[in-house]
């Protein structure tokens, strides 16, 4: 594919040879002649003379600084993602319903589905068009899966779950297991029935080994366009807004409400019954113990505004010196701190 053809699809302006042949896409360190690669920064952050690619996707600022042809774009990451799709995304070819899949009664299928061997689809499930369900998947009774969704091997989707269109769920994930609800009774625990469901809205992506619990009543909700990394736990009755990013090993307790555009860093934890506002950022390993306002960046345990946390960390490193200074002052004053 010629560079001008790529530019016509993903956008941008060419600086150099528009007819150069592009045969692949690669990272900047691995790129070879025939490849197109990308550079997100300026020349000062990378030696452009060592790039062997035939073309570079880059921002306007680096034009004229490299030997390769350049495709000038506003967002190199986005353009690179589209280039990868051009060369690596295979067109969907439906395989139909395998005779080795187990299909319950009164199951409805849309057009051009792919149901692979050893998938289990329970009674009354509704599967949309162009849905792929891979081996080892369990689909519970009455589950709804929208068009163009992909369910990878060994996913369990329990009854009472509704999944929208263009949703991707990776291997090992469980959606709709019981929420962790128990009533203490005389030193024992009585299980609270979990009779709600789970709603996964359109264009959500759920990583491997994620657990999303059904609600006690009503629904646990994952909003439109939200992306969830591997090994995240989302408890019962949680409501997550649109276009959120939740990174690996996050734990979200029951009945938490998360606004739109929220980013939660890896290994953060959120206690139950709090609210996180729109466009808030929760830094990695933060323990969120109170409501977070819109657009606030929060860090630490217990959680606090990020700037406050930075000052606290700075002061923490100075504590040994402060202690020595106080001890010296006490010595001069004749105070025995051990007897205080």
Q: Degrees (nearest 5) of the Cα angle 137, 142, 145?
A: 60
Q: Is 236 a catalytic residue?
A: yes
**Cα(101)–Cα(120) distance, integer angstroms:** 6
Measuring CA to CA, how many Å separate 323 from each of 137, 312, 316, 320, 326? 60, 16, 11, 5, 5
**Cα(25)–Cα(85) distance, integer angstroms:** 10
* Contact status, residue 238 vs residue 218, Cβ threshold 8 Å: no
Among residues 88, 236, 243, 273, the one annotated as catalytic is 236
DSSP class of 48: G
DSSP H helices in 41-100: 76-88
211-213: strand order across its sheet = 102-103, 120-121, 138-139, 156-157, 174-177, 211-213, 233-234, 251-252, 269-270, 287-288
**Cα(283)–Cα(301) distance, integer angstroms:** 11
Catalytic residue positions? 236
């Amino acid at each position: 594919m010629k560079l001008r053809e790529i530019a016509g699809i993903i956008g941008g302006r060419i600086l150099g040879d528009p007819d150069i042949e592009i045969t692949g896409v690669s990272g900047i360190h691995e790129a070879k002649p025939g490849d197109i690669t990308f550079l997100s920064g300026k020349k000062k952050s990378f030696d452009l003379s060592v790039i062997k690619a035939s073309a570079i996707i880059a921002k306007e600022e680096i034009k004229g600084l490299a030997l390769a042809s350049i495709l000038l774009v506003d967002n190199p990451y986005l353009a690179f993602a589209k280039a990868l799709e051009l060369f690596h995304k295979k067109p969907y070819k439906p395989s139909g319903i395998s005779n080795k899949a187990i299909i319950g009664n009164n199951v409805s299928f849309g057009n051009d589905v792919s149901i692979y061997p050893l998938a289990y689809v329970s009674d009354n499930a509704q599967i949309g068009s162009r849905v792929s369900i891979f081996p080892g998947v369990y689909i519970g009774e009455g589950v709804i899966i929208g068009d163009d969704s992909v369910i990878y091997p060994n996913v369990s989707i329990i009854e009472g779950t509704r999944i929208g269109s263009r949703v991707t769920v990776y291997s090992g994930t469980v959606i709709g297991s019981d929420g962790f609800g128990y009533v203490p009774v005389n030193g024992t625990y009585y299980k609270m029935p979990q009779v709600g469901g789970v709603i996964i809205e359109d264009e959500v992506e759920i990583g491997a080994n994620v657990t999303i619990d059904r609600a006690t009543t009503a629904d646990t909700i994952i909003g439109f366009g939200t992306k969830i990394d591997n090994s995240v736990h989302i408890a019962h009755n949680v409501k997550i807004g649109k276009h959120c990013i939740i990174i690996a090993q996050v734990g979200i307790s029951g009945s938490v409400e998360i606004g739109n555009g929220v980013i939660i860093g890896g290994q953060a934890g959120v206690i139950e019954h709090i609210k996180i506002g729109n466009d808030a950022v929760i830094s990695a390993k933060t323990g969120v113990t109170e409501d977070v306002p819109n657009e606030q960046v929060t860090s630490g345990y217990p959680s606090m505004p990020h700037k406050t946390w930075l000052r606290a960390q700075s002061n923490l490193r100075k504590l040994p010196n402060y202690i020595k200074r106080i001890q010296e002052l006490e010595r001069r004053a004749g105070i025995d701190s051990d007897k205080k």
